[in-house]
Structure 1
């Protein structure tokens, strides 16, 4: 692809020139459909994907030495043998369809250190009768090479590790066609090389009732087609859908996953998450955002291929006349905070390819959302900087510094070395699909809030150290700053007072 230098609006650095030299373009993808094979991303920054669902790993064909064999012909055999054997027992599930007792609460309750291995063709089937497959509080349980299907967990609950016990290893499972979440998570959990497919709410709900937990690895999974129950339409504004939802997780590695064709967001970290590394993933064709990082802290987001996301939800918003820049990577009240211990003290987004999504990256801060505000949708939660929540109650908050610790702040976000591609002949764009943004609303509520007026909008755009630089833009990109009404061209975005994207390059004709 040639470059017509007369149409460049920005200066090109050696980094941006190197990125431009590797850029290719593709034809239209047409309407949204689940890919049967992993498509290749254009450009040199593409990432291999985890084809787990089409190519599942096979378990042992014979029982390992000392293992207890489980008979699929005996209803409830798995739960009964687990109960009758001591901790640290290995169970080998023979080929066939294994069933629990016909009681909605029947489930397998492992003991500490138990290990479950499925033979090729071993399936644990809830028959649309049982709610949970594996539960209880035992630590260090391992489950491998098993299909778990057709369980009916309630909303926000999960089928495997229902009680979010610690130290579980979940590998080479196919967890599909269940209600609720296919899988829950606890501390020190490892979720690797699984197919989390077509579950009613989430593929994985990383949540534990009663408090936060630490050290979660989600690696090499295929996470596809989840939220078949379409919960956001059933309960608008619930924030309860997508491929994976993380709640109050400290230190997480999310790498090498293929997150695609979920109804809703692909990955969503919501409320007091911290110290995430989200890297080497392929995130594509999700109805909503590829990634939402909300009221959370300190993350590295790098080396991801992010393609064709947010078409459904973005177009729905545009068609109803909403002028908010609904983004593919959406940071909502999230930023770097040196006082919260992590491997980084900022949110750094770099070396990603964002190609033919509905909008790009939006940094947002709701002026009315803070600890103890009625406008805080994470009701009951306060920031990680405030132990005594009374400090954030009326009238105490009125005496706090304007940008005090009662707010989740979108600050210290560094966006650099990324490639943003937009071909409007590919994206089903009606309006407002071509934007980067850093903005806030004007504070109005509640009446005693100290954050009223333009103050938060001025801070997020001017003083909270949010910066784009050294990126490459291909296509007709626009920029939004301060509030939704301020739509800028590249010159205004680079100029005073915003001074964004130093060292970046833009070719508005190069998206196709």
Structure 2
């Protein structure tokens, strides 16, 4: 299975970052609640530690310009001379600085013609420097070289195949990609490697993803995604082309261990804004504005240990929610969707749970969905992350009968939605925004399906359904609700009002407040 794949239908199927350069374009700031910096710069998980101090900036069309003159000792790359950049890189030693003069830079008209950096190379664009694939070249920068820097360039017109990327195609480690505009390419605008810093970029209108954070082998560690505008990606509408591919959105993360995602404006992507798919761990997602994405603001799938705090999350999943409603599919499409994901103390991280706190959820299709597919576990054919096991079991083959029927494998072969703490958030719901969809929108959910497959599964029946409701430490508390919210418990068929949500056999939202919302807008 492709590393981008996920369930076709939901029902079935540590880094320390520097402060974000968000004062780049004060005149083009977008509204987000500022979050305080405790001054430590620790990037830890205390209250607002290391969070941006100012609003998120609109980067696209306002990226920081590069130097108008070549830096001392830099090799000058001529615009309008076909293939000059690859030739200069080939002719110079590792660690060279290349300054691309103003104008358009191209490569020979061969689909595989590209730049092959050496360790420590730096590429700096002058104001107006454009690297253009002209709809012919597949990749801009290809190499496993380490510690490469790409700054102040416009990279456009490259035609990478599906699931592949244009910048850092081979997922080299230690790259710094900052203050670029990477737009209107096929595939992903860029890939990621370990210790990569992606800061202050415009990742816009790429065919599949703004960034595909995937590296073959051991996966990516210590990734920073900071102060970027990530907008309009998946222009090729991959879900329509390959139904159920799970291969769309603003950014896709796969097996990333340690990521700081902060101060970004993630909006108007076709699909989810941010999607963590399969064995991600130790994420800090803070101080972002995530809005107007067709799918979820954040989809965190078969993954572990995360803090989601101090974000503005608004008007997400309305397109996908309406699609479900039109199909009379009553699965709760949330702004934040945790699918077989939770806290796990045995997987080292800065936190041992998923904490969702201090966020403003405004007029999304629904709120937060906590879901676990009883049929999706390691070595099950229903596991669409084919060939992958949980981080607690090294060998897929271990998860088979008779061993899987007993501990520890009975517990450890499942990705569990567990140890989730949802507190101190504000949730607003305006039915006029979501399109007047009573029974489908404005819901919170904690649920599972009845286990039916495969026939040797030890999780048949309502085993997982009962566990997710009663035994897996899932807590809503001290939140503020505005609007007519309803709550799904155990299954889509059990919708409960506030009184039962708070006072039932497994009470939720202790200390929370509930206020009436705006008028129904004529619904």
TM-score normalised according to structure 2 size: 0.89
Aligned positions of 1:35-114 closer than 5 A: 39-40=30-31, 48-114=55-121
- The alpha-carbon deviation at position 42 of structure 1 amounts to 8.2
1:124-176 alpha-carbon deviations (Å, 9 max, x no partner): 00000000000111100001000000100000000000000000000001000
- The alpha-carbon deviation at position 427 of structure 1 amounts to 2.3
Match of 2:484 among 468, 476, 487: 476
In the alignment, is residue 284 of structure 1 matched against residue 275 of structure 2? no
1:183-204 alpha-carbon deviations (Å, 9 max, x no partner): 0000000000000000000000
Give, in whole Å, the separation in 1 of the partners of 2:488 and 2:84. Answer: 60
Closer, same or farther: CA 39–111 of 1 in aligned 2, 3 Å: closer
Match of 1:221 among 214, 228, 242: 228
Give, in whole Å, the separation in 1 of the partners of 2:516 and 2:471. Answer: 29
2:434 aligns with 427
Give, in whole Å, the separation in 1 of the partners of 2:187 and 2:286. Answer: 27
Match of 2:463 among 434, 442, 455: 455
- The alpha-carbon deviation at position 369 of structure 1 amounts to 0.3
Would the aligned equivalents of 2:387 and 2:396 in 1 still touch at CA under 8 Å? no
Give, in whole Å, the separation in 2 of the partners of 1:175 and 1:102. Answer: 20
- SS of the residue corresponding to residue 493 of structure 2 reads coil
- SS of the residue corresponding to residue 315 of structure 1 reads helix
- SS of the residue corresponding to residue 305 of structure 2 reads strand
In the alignment, is residue 169 of structure 1 matched against residue 176 of structure 2? yes
Give, in whole Å, the separation in 2 of the partners of 1:105 and 1:120. Answer: 27
- The alpha-carbon deviation at position 40 of structure 1 amounts to 3.0
TM-score normalised according to structure 1 size: 0.91
Matched pairs, number: 477
- The alpha-carbon deviation at position 497 of structure 1 amounts to 1.2
In the alignment, is residue 139 of structure 1 matched against residue 146 of structure 2? yes
Would the aligned equivalents of 1:402 and 1:451 in 2 still touch at CA under 8 Å? no
Would the aligned equivalents of 2:33 and 2:312 in 1 still touch at CA under 8 Å? no
Would the aligned equivalents of 1:395 and 1:448 in 2 still touch at CA under 8 Å? no
Further displaced range: 490-499 or 242-251: 490-499
1:22-48 alpha-carbon deviations (Å, 9 max, x no partner): xxxxxxxxxxxxxx9665368999972
Give, in whole Å, the separation in 1 of the partners of 2:310 and 2:382. Answer: 35
Closer, same or farther: CA 456–161 of 1 in aligned 2, 3 Å: same
Would the aligned equivalents of 1:225 and 1:260 in 2 still touch at CA under 8 Å? yes
- The alpha-carbon deviation at position 400 of structure 1 amounts to 4.1
1:287-344 alpha-carbon deviations (Å, 9 max, x no partner): 0000000000000000000011111110010111001101110000000000000010
- The alpha-carbon deviation at position 402 of structure 1 amounts to 7.9
Q: Name stretches of at least 5 consecutive residues in structure 2 with no aligned partner.
A: 1-26, 37-52
Would the aligned equivalents of 1:474 and 1:511 in 2 still touch at CA under 8 Å? no
- The alpha-carbon deviation at position 424 of structure 1 amounts to 1.2
Would the aligned equivalents of 2:203 and 2:230 in 1 still touch at CA under 8 Å? yes
Q: Name stretches of at least 5 consecutive residues in structure 1 with no aligned partner.
A: 1-35
Aligned positions of 1:37-436 closer than 5 A: 39-40=30-31, 48-400=55-407, 403-431=410-438, 432-436=440-444
1:3 aligns with none
Closer, same or farther: CA 277–467 of 1 in aligned 2, 3 Å: same
Would the aligned equivalents of 1:390 and 1:396 in 2 still touch at CA under 8 Å? no
- The alpha-carbon deviation at position 394 of structure 1 amounts to 3.4
- The alpha-carbon deviation at position 399 of structure 1 amounts to 3.5
1:444 aligns with 452
Give, in whole Å, the separation in 2 of the partners of 1:43 and 1:70. Answer: 41
- The alpha-carbon deviation at position 90 of structure 1 amounts to 0.3
Give, in whole Å, the separation in 1 of the partners of 2:30 and 2:429. Answer: 18
1:72-108 alpha-carbon deviations (Å, 9 max, x no partner): 1210000000000001100000000000111100000
- SS of the residue corresponding to residue 324 of structure 2 reads helix
2:495 aligns with 487
Further displaced range: 270-279 or 427-436: 427-436
Would the aligned equivalents of 1:436 and 1:477 in 2 still touch at CA under 8 Å? yes
Would the aligned equivalents of 2:104 and 2:132 in 1 still touch at CA under 8 Å? yes
